[in-house]
Structure 1
Amino acid sequence: MTTIDAQAAALTGRVAEALARVLKKDPAEITPESRLFDDLGLDSTSVLELLVELETELDGELDADSLEQEHFETVASLSRYLASAATR
């Protein structure tokens, strides 16, 4: 397991909790494989809310310009993006 993979695994729970707060869902229903748009109902407005929530949760700023659609496919893909962004 690479350092980024380990960091992503550690972040997955925090991402799920942030998603649960934004989407008003039970965090237990959110898994690493949950698809953000298809399974959880994320939309363009809630993406912005999620980014603000994650910045607060992670005590840092996210570079919105570096985010791509692929980063928002699943909870795991978003966690991997956050882990790789933290190492930059």
Structure 2
Amino acid sequence: MDRRAVIAAVGAALSESLGREVPALDEGTRLFEDLHLDSTTSLELLMAMEETFDLLIDPEALDMDDFRTVGTFTDYVLRQLGSVGLGGGAR
């Protein structure tokens, strides 16, 4: 999966979850401080990633560091996508 495609999907999911357009994202954009995510919008973001990429994400296995920035969240999604072929993370 192309990293830019994942970032674009994250941006679309953020816009939907937050109910507003998000500014141009870069990998350093902080999810909580810059975009004002909260626990509810974080879960909505995860559900959107599950739907978009056909993943099954266990919220209990998440690390808050995965939500620091758009870049760290993109890394998380890419790791989950990589595990799909290995029998983990897929539905």
TM-score (norm: length of structure 2)? 0.78
Distance in 2 separating the partners of 1:31 and 1:85:
21
Please state how far the C-alpha of 1:48 moved relative to its aligned partner: 1.2
- Contact (CA 8 Å) 1:16, 1:31: kept in 2 or not? no
Please state how far the C-alpha of 1:27 moved relative to its aligned partner: 4.0
**Letter in structure 2 aligned against 1:9:** R
Aligned twin of 2:43: 48
Distance in 2 separating the partners of 1:25 and 1:76:
20
Q: How many residues align structurally?
A: 83
Q: Whose relative contact order is higher, 1 or 2, with alpha carbons under 8 Å and at least 6 apart?
A: 1
Indicate whether 1:29 and 2:24 are aligned.
Answer: yes
Distance in 1 separating the partners of 2:71 and 2:5:
10
Instruction: State percent identity of aligned pairs.
Output: 31
- Contact (CA 8 Å) 1:20, 1:26: kept in 2 or not? yes
TM-score (norm: length of structure 1)? 0.80
Please state how far the C-alpha of 1:53 moved relative to its aligned partner: 1.6
What SS is found at the alignment partner of 2:35? coil
CA-based RMSD of the aligned residues comes to 1.8
Runs of 4+, deviation exceeding 2 Å? 6-10, 27-32
For residues 7-18 of structure 1, what are the structure 2 equivalents within 5 Å?
7-18=2-13
5+ residue gaps, structure 1:
1-5
